[in-house]
Amino acid sequence: MSNLGSKPLKPGLYLVATPIGNLEDITLRALRVLKECDTIICEDSRVSRKLLSFYGIEKPLMVYHDHNGDVMRPKVLEKLNAQEVVAFITDAGMPLISDPGYKLVNVCLENNIYLTVIPGASAPLAGLVLSGMPSNQFAFCGFAESSHFENLSPLTMTLIFFEAPSRLVKTLEKMSPLFSNRKVAVVREITKMFEELKRGDFKDVIDHFTLHPPKGEIVIVLSPPELQEATDETIDTLLEKALKAMSVKDASEIVAATLGLPKKKIYKRALDLINSS
């Protein structure tokens, strides 16, 4: 243990990353905080007790989630004002990443309460690394919502989503027309025994998971758009696909961004296609 590890923990809120599957994926510093804190705030006590029991940790637990946050924040603040060391964990991975907690962090900042993070496992980053997609620019888009796909499709970077296994195939089918010029990777059960990566075009990945219904936690990673040759045929093909799912304006913007062409030119061509149909 380093000299840093021998110092008493400073009172305040510690945001502690926990494993996303394999219970061995936890840092020495995280274990020390969980062993030496006064209280652990968790999302689901049943899930958290499995991890804590594995490492022989027994601490008072307070359950904090989206539905009880307004009630629990004053209680947590009371403990912090009493100079307690409070650890905050969620069911898996980094706290606050598609999990509750940011309002509690804001309360700490507003009240000048000591706050720090104990970094560790993160499913979006693990999925990105395993996918092999470009990682110089990326956006984590949370749980996949088809109503957001139109706004996300013009982004020229790698996109990362969470998804449930029961919805995976339908989600990929909804993504396909809007993200047709991207590669897709589905990474599931990261760090677990049946970890799997399937990467390719949408058809290949959809066919695979139609034949092999997935289980477990899932991360979808989409590559940046692949630039295509701006022939008239390519423009028309992309516009026809886009116009099936969105307005003329939005379709024109997406196709223009994909091909690196002026929006006015693509918009005019979209109108021509509609008038000729």
What is the distance, to the nearest Å, from the Cα of residue 18 to the centroid of all Cα atoms in its chain? Answer: 15
Give residue 228's pLDDT band: very low, low, confident or very high (50, 70, 90): low
pLDDT tens sequence across 111-154: 999 999 999 999 999 999 999 999 999 999 999 999 999 889 88
Reply yes or no on whether the pLDDT at 75 is more than 50: yes
Residue 2's pLDDT band, with cuts at 50, 70 and 90, is: very low
pLDDT of residue 156: 85
For 22-84, strand residue ranges (E) read 39-42, 61-63
- Whether the per-residue pLDDT at 73 is higher than 50: the answer is yes
Percent of the chain at pLDDT exceeding 70: 97
Residue pLDDT, tens place only, 7-33: 899 999 999 999 999 999 999 999 999
Q: Residue 229's pLDDT band (boundaries 50, 70, 90)?
A: low
pTM of the shown model? 0.80
Decide if pLDDT at 54 tops 90: yes
Apex CA 72: angle with CA 145 and CA 62, to 5°?
A: 95
Decide if pLDDT at 6 tops 80: no
